[in-house]
Amino acid sequence: MEKHQAQHAADANLYQELFARVPIGLYRTTPAGNIIDVNPALLRMLGYTDKEALLGESATSVYANPESRKLWRAEMEARGTVSSFEAEWKRRDGSLIWVEENSHAVSDPGGLILHYEGSAQDITARKAIALELVQEKARFEQLFAAAPEAVVLCDNDAVVQRVNAEFTRLFGYSEDEVLGHAIDDLVASGLADLLAEANRVTANIASGETTFAETQRRRKDGRLVHVSILGKPVFVEGEQVGLYAIYRDISARKEAEGALAQETARFEQLFAAAPEAIVLCANDGSILRMNAEFTRLFGYSEDEALGRDIDRLVAPEINGLQDEAKGITQQIADGQSSFVETRRRRKDGHLIHVSILGEPILIDGDQVAVYGIYRDISARKEAEAALAASQAKVERLHEAADALGEAKSEEDVYRITVGAAEDVLGFSLGILCIAEDDEFICRAVSSSIDVEELGRTKINPHGVAVQSLETGQPIIVNDPTAESLPYGIPPSSRSLICAPIGKIGIFQAASATVNAFGDEDGRLLAILLGHTAVAAGRLRLQQELIRQARHDALTGVFNRHYFNEMIAQEVMRASRYNHPIGLLMIDVDRFKEINDRYGHQTGDMVLKEIADVLRDTVRQTDMIVRYGGDEFLVMLTETGEDAEEAAVRVRDAVFGSAKLREISGFDVTVSVGSIFWHPGTGTPIEEALATADARMYEDKRGR
């Protein structure tokens, strides 16, 4: 008996030693679920230092969700054991951990349960990894389904295992029609050369090589499409388990490249045949190319000029001309445009008057070269010298040129032009028209006649105005017949002068006096209109650049880049006048469905129509922004209207759009998140934007 008791005591001591030292959490509870013992590992797991804090407590208290304990007890009662039971436990500091429990009931010989004992292992890290894997798989599935390129997954034998929606759209097959088939048999059949090329590409990928190709592939309907193909093998733990290929439809790009080739050919023809001398230089001023007119104007052959410094070639070291030339070249090399009228030297040493237009050449924002356009203005300079007797006219012309250079709008350009022309020529009536399609549009007149009265008129291809435009020269008609007079010129006119404004329009003036205009008037008018053309071209270019920089190309509303520039100004203005700013974050519901069902063209039509609906719904002073993808943002400034009221109007307007319904085939709706930002709250505007975005998603979830 004593030996048995000693052995029992030794076993108990060994159990207690193991209970205390084992690295995983161990516990005992009463049949009712009260904790009667825990080991140090479990104390550490739960953040306790003294197990007295746990003894006597209900085991349910350590569960984050009491329902989990009920499930544990149900399994224990049913089986007498609990295996691999996962639940969230609460630590002493309130933080949560995931644990895996293995428990069993301890009973006496009569089957009465004495207590429960079990182990608990912290599996928080494992659960986090599992969750991350689930999320990563979900992200992959979303990307795979919504990818704008056609994606196909194959096994190592190039047999199709999966395709995305864009693949079925691009090649015209349903998913059932492609699964289990060799990829090349699907998209390269029917043409031996094409199939052989496709097999080579696939073989390269299957051999473990990343492969990129631009080629053609055949759709189900037999039509060939230009595609780029990026193919890669798929490896799992170092073993190649398959391959994938990404197909992008580059038909539009190929068409654009063809158009670019034609445009390049036209440019080369224009470059060669241009009436002005054109030279292309590196950024350091060394000559790269020149046209035939440059050779004729300066007398140098290509062999004599290529590679030489442009300023040393044509600018003599007299009267500061070479220093001036170097300054102009440096200005252009620094990225600035330059237009000057000066003198340059021919190969034979003769100095000629030239106008020089210099511009940097930018590709993707990087300056790669510069070009200069030289126009021989010697004849014009001689004419200007001959006009010394008419100094008042010349001075007026200079004033007009300065005014044109500072003009802020095309209307100002045309008004300045007509006023200057009237001072220089002295006519009864002057009309400035701009050519647009097959019409002349009156933009400015010298008399009391309203511009709107003249309006538009069809261009007479045989008229004086067209002759002047085509020749690029002024035309003077003395004693014209009434039938030959252009539209708007009174029948009583006895003299007429027409002169082109570059290629964009025509200026015509009439006088009741016979022989009122001479060659001198034609030259002066040509000079004036040359400045007019440059000023109008400059303003048109500026307006186009501003428009492109600020507006979304598809919808015509402001882009996000411009909004980011403007929001700081609006915040400052709102703070100065204590005005709130309303923000509506708008997202098109079911937009992916529209794209998937009807294609991206229909999706684009929906976006453009929604932009039109927004324009009709909000005030002109409110700012509409394409914030990204199918997301719009409306900024409401200086308004007393509640932002949610505006949101309701937007939702109703979109839902009520018959045109959107016609485009998509169902009622298009939008989710809108709204907020009013008040400057006095101290809340950053970025936080208000984030709140509007979150409310938009709440609105979407509520649909």
Catalytic residue numbers? 630
Q: How far apart are CA 450 and CA 444, in angstroms?
A: 9
Q: How far apart are CA 409 and CA 415, in angstroms?
A: 10
State the residue for tokens 């017949």.
Answer: 481
Strand segments, DSSP code E, in 589-692 are 623-628, 631-637, 670-677
- Is the Cβ–Cβ distance between 226 and 254 less than 8 Å? yes
Cα 46 to Cα 35, 94, 414, distances in angstroms: 14, 10, 84
Which 3 state secondary structure label does DSSP give 620?
A: coil
- Is the Cβ–Cβ distance between 230 and 204 less than 8 Å? no
- Is the Cβ–Cβ distance between 211 and 158 less than 8 Å? no
Which 3 state secondary structure label does DSSP give 306?
A: coil
β-partners of residue 234 are 242
Q: Output the furthest CA–CA distance in the chain (Å, rounded).
A: 150
DSSP 32-99: TSBEEEE-HHHHHHHT-S-GGGTTTSBGGGGBSSHHHHHHHHHHHHHHSEEEEEEEEEE-TTS-EEEE
Cα 193 to Cα 60, 172, 184, 216, distances in angstroms: 73, 22, 12, 11
* Per-residue tokens: 167: 């693949």
State the residue for tokens 């045989």.
Answer: 462
Q: What are phi and psi of 17, to 5 degrees?
A: -65, -45
Instruction: Please choose, from the candidates 191, 219, 354, 206, the residue with its C-alpha nearest in 3D space to the C-alpha of residue 279.
Output: 354
State the residue for tokens 């060994």.
Answer: 14
Number of helices followed by number of strands (H, E) in the chain: 25, 26
